Amino acid sequence: HTIINSGHAKQQIISRQDKVGMIARDLMYDLRQAIYHNELTVVYQPKHNRVGHIIGVEALVRWTHPRYGFVSPAMLVMLAEDSGDISQLDQWVFEQCCITKAKWNAMGHQDLTMAINISPLQLNDDALPFFLANCVAKYGLNPQDIELEITESSEISDSKQVEKILQEISDIGIHLAMDDFGMGYSSLLYMRRFKVNAIKIDGSITRDVLTNTTNADIIRTISNLGKAQQVSVVAEYVETIEQREALAEMGCDIFQGYYHSPPLKPEDCQVYFLSHCR
């Protein structure tokens, strides 16, 4: 009996894995179709300065699968990186952001920056700087108003190719921000090798700033580094006024999180801007 039972259990585990694989392949296929058919959307989360004015937004991709429902961007990005569709995904998002930014400029919101996430895998793509420059020009945007948020990755920290591509992006005038700063071992290496305009302290560090004294020390250290390098320091995951005040006292310049606002649909942004602009 035990032999039959364990054999049966094993079979179940394998078929479970197969199922997961099938769902992943399903999702990859559907994601490719969704990108192609413009079925993804982009939401925008406000960023505020020390006095509380909105200074810009971060674009975050959204996808609701017809059968599986909401698929988190972390999952989306993972699927697209594995299927080879990540550059289509990121470039689609980038172009949507340019279209939106041009619209906002026309409404008088030229002073708001647009931050866009990009997968580190894309930084191996020679065609990326040309695509970005072209897109920014196509919609008549000022490259300084666009910021690419780059997550550090062990694969790219040491590559001449990546260094060259980041330099080309910098030369276009597009700003670079180091996302999830403090999480990986190579954050500091990046700062030495690439011209970054902002560092975003990872949410897992800022989240418990009020209770974790080690994290508080890390935030102070990162803020000092930012000041010395003339780089602005962004705190994400700011959920309460108490966190905001503590982070400000520790030297953070820009605040993003549910305390100010969740990510908003573009039409809701326009309402938000009216009440939060200078």
**Nearer Cβ to Mg ion (203/251):** 203
Q: Is the dihedral of CA 233, 91, 97, 257 positive or negative?
A: negative
Please report, as residue ranges, which positions from 94 to 123 form the binding site for Mg ion (by CB under 5 A).
117
Please report, as residue ranges, which positions from 2 to 41 form the binding site for Mg ion (by CB under 5 A).
none
E strands present in the chain: 41-48, 54-65, 69-71, 113-118, 146-151, 175-181, 198-201, 232-235, 254-255
**Nearer Cβ to ligand C2E (231/238):** 238
Residue 113 binds: one of Mg ion, ligand C2E, none (C-beta under 5 to 8 A by kind):
none
85 binds Mg ion (CB under 5 A): no
Q: What is the 3-state secondary structure (H, E, C) of 222-278?
A: HHHHHHHCCCEEEECCCCCHHHHHHHHHCCCCEECCCCCCCCECHHHHHHHHHHHCC
Q: How far is the CB of 240 from ligand C2E (least distance, A)?
A: 9
| Residue 105 near residue 56 (C-beta atoms within 8 A) | no
Nearest residue to the partner Mg ion, using Cβ: 149
Q: How far is the CB of 18 from ligand C2E (least distance, A)?
A: 28
Contacts with ligand C2E by CB under 6 A lie at 45, 60-61, 72-74, 77, 90, 93, 117-119, 149, 151, 179-180, 203, 236-239, 257-258, 263
Q: How far are the Cα atoms of 21, 142, 184, 238 from residue 232, in angstroms, in the given order?
A: 42, 19, 19, 16
180 binds Mg ion (CB under 5 A): yes
| Residue 114 near residue 102 (C-beta atoms within 8 A) | no
| Residue 76 near residue 63 (C-beta atoms within 8 A) | yes
Residue 72 binds: one of ligand C2E, Mg ion, none (C-beta under 5 to 8 A by kind):
ligand C2E
Q: How far is the CB of 38 from ligand C2E (least distance, A)?
A: 14
User: Which range, of 85-93, 120-128, 141-149, 227-235, touches Mg ion by CB under 5 A?
Assistant: 141-149
Which residues of the chain form contacts with Mg ion (CB under 5 A)?
117, 149, 179-180
